[in-house]
Amino acid sequence: MKKFWLVAVSLVMMLAVVGFSGCTDGPTTIGTVDVNSQQSGIWVSGTGKVTATPDIAILSLGIESQETTVAEAQANANEAMADVMVALKDAGIADEDIQTQYFSIREVTNWEVRYDGGEKEVVIGYEVTNTVSVKVRDVTKAGVVIDAVVAAGGDLTRVNGINFTVEDPTPYYEQAREQAADYAKAKAEQMAELSGVTLGSPTYISESSSYGSPNYYRGDAMVVPAPTIYPTEISVGTLEITATVQIAYAITD
């Protein structure tokens, strides 16, 4: 008896599915999504690019000290970093534009040959690293800030990189997005004309944006040489802000 009911229920479910798919003449929907519209129409993409002049420089810089004891290394690093902070304030950098990026105290080791011919790892000192991210709101002063930090931190100074950005990228994104949408629509109109159909309204739109920032240095810490009579020259260049859209248009004919 149980087997009979199982077969009957299965048969009813199969008939219901077949009946649903067979009796649906219009577009199949799941909730409010038109499944068929995702498989028909004219799909196009467009990209817009706008160049912008950076108005902010972001420096990654700090202090690195190595001594035989933690106390000595930390004392030297703290003193040098305090001098760097004074130099940054004197250069017009606000407190809110300085943020600790990295801090570490680690052992410095070396391998020595043992009496039996093997090797052993021994601690030869300790290294203290203190790195900060500095936002320079006047990009023309980026080189001046670097020189001031080098003079304050001396041989313990490390400059890890410099990036450029814009304070408010929104207007540039809007321009790039408008260019991308116009280009995508023009492509869809051309494709419709070539295909002999009439272009309808958009049924799907997606967008992604990005901008590239030139990196003049990024990687392992760099020991900055003592300052000379020549100031550090920094070239700002331009940023490329990109927006890409994908649009699906319905076909009315």
Q: State pLDDT tens for residues 76-92.
A: 999 999 999 999 999 99
Quick check: is 70 in a domain?
yes
Q: How many CA atoms are closer than 13 Å to the CA of 44, on its beta-carbon side?
A: 20
| 167 closest CA partner among 242, 93, 239 | 239
* Count of C-beta atoms within a 10 Å radius of residue 50: 21
Quick check: is 31 in a domain?
no
pLDDT for res 211: 72
Q: State pLDDT tens for residues 40-54.
A: 799 999 999 999 999
Quick check: is 198 in a domain?
no
Q: What is the 3-state secondary structure (H, E, C) of 128-155?
A: EEEEEEEEECCHHHHHHHHHHHHHHHHH
Quick check: is 45 in a domain?
no
Is residue 213 very low, low, confident or very high in pLDDT (cuts 50, 70, 90)?
low
- Is the model's pTM score more than 0.75? no
Quick check: is 40 in a domain?
no
Q: What is the CATH number of the domain that holds 162?
A: 3.30.70.2970
Q: What is the end-to-end Cα distance of the chain in Å, rounded?
A: 56
Secondary structure of the chain: what % helix, strand, coil (to 5)?
Answer: 35, 40, 25
Is residue 112 very low, low, confident or very high in pLDDT (cuts 50, 70, 90)?
confident
Quick check: is 140 in a domain?
yes
Q: Which single residue is written with the structure tokens 């798919």?
A: 21
Q: How many CA atoms are closer than 13 Å to the CA of 217, on its beta-carbon side?
A: 15
| Cα gap 188→1, rounded to integer Å | 61
- Total count of domains within the chain: 1
pLDDT for res 215: 46
Residue 73's identity, in one-letter code, is A
Quick check: is 99 in a domain?
yes
Quick check: is 202 in a domain?
no
Rg of the chain's alpha carbons, rounded to an integer? 32
Residue 139 tokens read as 């990009």
pLDDT, greater one: 11 or 217: 217
Domain that holds residue 142: 55-110+122-166+214-231
Cα dihedral 63, 69, 75, 78 in deg (nearest 10):
30
| 217 closest CA partner among 230, 234, 201, 204 | 234
Q: State pLDDT tens for residues 3-39.
A: 433 333 333 333 333 343 334 444 433 333 344 445 6
Parallel/antiparallel/unpaired status of strands 199-212 and 119-136: unpaired
Q: Taking 60 as the threshold, does the pLDDT of residue 96 lie above it?
A: yes
